[in-house]
Copies of this chain bind each other. A is one copy, B any other.
Amino acid sequence: MKQLNIGVLVGSLRKESFNKKTARALMANAPDHLNFEVIEIGDLAHYSEDAEANVPVAWAAFREKIKSKDAFLFVTPEYNRSVPSVLKNALDVASRPWGHNLWDGKPAGIVSVSIGAIGGFGANHHLRQSLVFLNVATMPQPEAYIGNAASLFDDEGHVINDHTKEILVNYMQAYTAWVEKHVL
């Protein structure tokens, strides 16, 4: 089977982040021909057009990473009913300067994760709106709103909730089919 290179972007920088744990669980439950790489986004300076005159090293490296991937998986918390700045910035940096949208035409999936009941709905859909502009085909169903995240993992970061595990397995199955439809 053709190998697929998937860039994983996680919207939380916290070391013990539930989003990082969710991302790991998603990767662990995916078919073998998906090659995942979690792409670092915490070191990217806030986007400003002025900086294009002297592109920061971290921006250049990040743009190369994005260019090299076939598809993307976004795992994000919600900050104040929207996308965390660190993830929004990653979208922006790889979409500029004008005419150099590196997300263009690649498929993606979104999983939002929160410790509350709502599961990051606001972040999930704000991210979808940005991806429309970036010409990313974002998988509609299954939606994935992972709520009550503080009760889903053991001390080593493994999913202990069977229903959640099933959701993640089903998600990656649908995601794989979606990516294959849009890439191959």
Contacts of A129 in B (CB 8 A): 81-82, 122, 125-126, 128
Q: How many interface residues does chain A have, given as a range? A: 35 or more
Which of A21-29, A30-38, A141-149 participates in binding chain B? A141-149
Q: Which chain A residues numbered 110 to 163 have a C-beta less than 8 Å away from chain B?
A: 117-119, 121-122, 125-126, 128-138, 140-141, 143, 145, 147
**Would you call A86 an interface residue if the criterion is a C-beta within 8 Å of the partner chain's C-beta atoms?**
yes
**Would you call A83 an interface residue if the criterion is a C-beta within 8 Å of the partner chain's C-beta atoms?**
yes
A158 to B: closest C-beta gap in Å: 22
**Would you call A14 an interface residue if the criterion is a C-beta within 8 Å of the partner chain's C-beta atoms?**
yes
Contacts of A141 in B (CB 8 A): 132-133, 135
* Contact yes or no, A135 B126, CB < 8 A: no
* Contact yes or no, A14 B50, CB < 8 A: yes
* Contact yes or no, A84 B128, CB < 8 A: no
Known contacts A48-B13, A48-B14, A117-B118; is A80 also within 8 Å of B135 by CB? no
Of A85, A92, A130, most buried by chain B (CB within 10 Å of CB) is: A85
| Chain A residues in the interface with B (C-beta under 8 A) | 12-15, 42, 46-50, 79-86, 88-89, 91-92, 95, 117-119, 121-122, 125-126, 128-138, 140-141, 143, 145, 147, 181-182
